[in-house]
Amino acid sequence: MAGRPKKTETTEKATTSKKTTTTTVDNDIQEQLKLLQEQLAKLQAENEALKAEPILANTDEEEITSDTDITVVSQVVGTLTISTEGNGIGTVYNFEHFGEAQDIPFGDLRDIVKNKPNFAKEGVYYICNPQAVKKLRLDHQYENLIDKNTFANILDMDSKTVVALYQSAPKLQQEQIVGLIEEKIEKKQDIDGNILIQIGRLCGKDFLAMINDDNE
């Protein structure tokens, strides 16, 4: 009977140790929760501060004024005349050949587009400044235009690419592709026969017959 009190004492010590461990774990969890809450509060404060900051304009973009020169490239086979008041009136700009580039003040270009909008929208000439295109509200039309570099080399591409570009281009650019083909035929320059046949079918012209006529 003398051994039982010892057993009771050992049990009480073990219970006390377990309670101490549990209390320590609870304290650690509470400390971690407190730290997380503080970090969350800090992040929320930073987020609110960012929202309160004024949004600054993008200063990397060049400001366009009426006097800013904008490069414009003719995409017409032959001569092109555009003017600020339309029909050759006002300030006149003459392009002598396909691919010729001229610098036109934005103020003049704005008037040119206003008086002859279809020339701008259908890529008779190409405006080489994206900001100017945006200010003139032509960005939507420019998504479907053939750009100057592609246009300059279009007949050196494979027939499948040329046909796809022709089909997606606006009418006036399609006419210029036909004009480039006719110019090559006239100058007796080499051109992919598949381009002649497929574009010929689309535009209703027999380019192969033109080559045969020139060779007679």
Q: Are 95 and 54 in contact (CB under 8 A)?
A: no
**pLDDT the model gives residue 155:** 94
Q: Does pLDDT of 30 surpass 90?
A: no
Q: Does pLDDT of 75 surpass 50?
A: yes
Q: Using alpha carbons, select from 77, 136, 81 the residue that is nearest to residue 107.
A: 136
**pLDDT the model gives residue 44:** 64
d(CA 149, CA 112): 23
**pLDDT the model gives residue 121:** 94
**pLDDT the model gives residue 184:** 92
> pTM of the entire structure?
0.65
Summarised one tens digit per residue, pLDDT across range 132-158 is: 999 999 999 998 899 989 998 999 999
**pLDDT the model gives residue 164:** 95
Taking the CA atoms of 167, 173, 179 and 183 in sequence, report the sign of the dihedral they define: negative
Number of neighbours of residue 123 by Cβ within 10 angstroms: 27
d(CA 48, CA 209): 73
Q: Using alpha carbons, select from 98, 106, 47 the residue that is nearest to residue 75.
A: 98
